[in-house]
């Protein structure tokens, strides 16, 4: 099992925009690809972050989804439209395997 988390730092004053975008992305991925993304915010550390978390049976399933998203104009437009809600260069991916 693979656990994937993508996080990003929210730009000052953009929390509402970031949360709206977070929910929009989760809905888009669920509706189009059948993958449930959990939307997360930290309760410790830097509170101005947001993350999406999901699980896959293996790396092939994760890689397939990422490939589809990177080729999807609607997804890319959604990301570009909300880019000002996040600090540039702050996106961070973690990929873990269960043991």
- Domains, the chain, ordered by start: 2-97 (3.30.70.100)
Number of residues that make up the chain: 99
Yes or no: say if 97 and 3 are a contact pair by the CB < 8 Å rule: yes
In order along its 99 residues, the chain shows pLDDT tens digits of: 999 999 999 999 999 999 999 999 999 999 999 999 999 999 999 899 999 999 999 999 999 999 999 999 999 999 999 999 999 999 999 999 999
């Amino acid at each position: 099992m693979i656990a994937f988390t993508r996080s990003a730092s929210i730009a000052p004053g953009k929390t509402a925009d970031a949360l709206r975008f977070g929910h929009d992305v989760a809905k888009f991925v669920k509706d189009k690809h059948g993958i449930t993304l959990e939307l997360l915010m930290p309760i410790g550390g830097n509170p101005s972050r947001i993350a999406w978390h999901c699980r896959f049976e293996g790396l092939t399933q994760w890689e397939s989804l990422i490939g589809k998203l990177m080729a999807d104009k609607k997804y890319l437009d959604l990301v570009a439209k909300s880019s000002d809600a996040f600090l540039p260069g702050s996106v961070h991916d973690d990929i873990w395997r269960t043991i």
